[in-house]
Amino acid sequence: MAQAADEPLLHEHKEFKNVDFSGKTLRDREFFKCTFINCNFSKSDLSKNEFSNCQFEACNFTMAKIVDTGFGEVVFNNCKLMGLDFSSASRFMFSFAFNGSQLDYAIFQSTKLKKTAFDRCSLKDADFTDADLSQAVLKECDLQNAQFSGTNLEKADLRTAHHYNIDPDRNKLKKTKFANSNLAGLLLKYNLDIDFEQ
């Protein structure tokens, strides 16, 4: 998206509603305390932007590019973030909360997600290799086929998460919270027949 000469680089306290950015390029902008409602960013190039204290409601980010994009205290509510490569985003501004969002195939490789809240999210086939998820909360999240290898899950809360397969020998699990009914997800590699009904 070409930038007009008089268009501001800094957007503060603005609301963007039903805007279609799909397939477009939006760069070198700063958004502070802005709200985005039902906006389409699918396959757009959002590289080198900064989003600080922003909220996204029912937005679509499927396959968007976020190279060196800063996200500081950003909340995603009921958004589609499928295939998003968070490992390419800026490491200096990197804090989120995810609520009711689709994060299937998202890449979080080697990212710092300490204390991040994932609430009722789909994280199927997400990649958490070498990520820091310490003290993160994954409440009622679907982790089917999500990749955990070298992942720090110390003090993380997975009590209501489901469909996960986490190898205790390949991840840090000190004081990680699990529900008794979901412990099978830690033992899948042993091919055990576990009966929790008795």
Strands (DSSP E) contained in 64-146 are 70-77, 94-99, 117-119, 137-139
Of the ranges 2-16, 65-79, 162-176, which one carries the lowest mean pLDDT score? 2-16
User: What is the structure's pLDDT at 182?
Assistant: 73
User: What is the structure's pLDDT at 180?
Assistant: 78
In this structure, whether the domain defined by 11-81+90-101 belongs to CATH 3.40.50.11440 is answered with no
Identify whether the C-beta of residue 36 lies closer than 8 Å to the C-beta of residue 55.
Answer: yes
What span, in angstroms and rounded, lies between the C-alpha atoms of 111 and 133? Answer: 9
- pLDDT per residue as tens digits for the range 13-67: 999 999 999 999 998 999 999 999 999 999 999 999 999 999 999 999 999 999 9
User: What is the structure's pLDDT at 189?
Assistant: 59
User: What is the structure's pLDDT at 16?
Assistant: 97
Identify whether the C-beta of residue 171 lies closer than 8 Å to the C-beta of residue 148.
Answer: yes
User: What is the structure's pLDDT at 1?
Assistant: 41
Q: Please enumerate in sequence order all residues whose Cβ is within 8 A of that of 3, keeping only pairs 6 or more positions apart, or say none.
A: 28
Of the ranges 6-10, 118-122, 159-163, 190-194, which one carries the lowest mean pLDDT score? 190-194
Count how many residues are written for the chain.
198
- CATH 2.160.20.80 domain extents, the chain: 11-81+90-101, 103-191
> CATH number of the domain at 103-191, out of 3.90.1300.10, 3.30.9.90, 3.40.470.10, 2.160.20.80?
2.160.20.80
- pLDDT per residue as tens digits for the range 80-114: 999 999 999 999 999 999 999 999 999 999 999 99
- Specify the pTM: 0.89
More confident residue, 195 or 121: 121
More confident residue, 193 or 30: 30
Unique residue bearing structure tokens 């299937």: 104
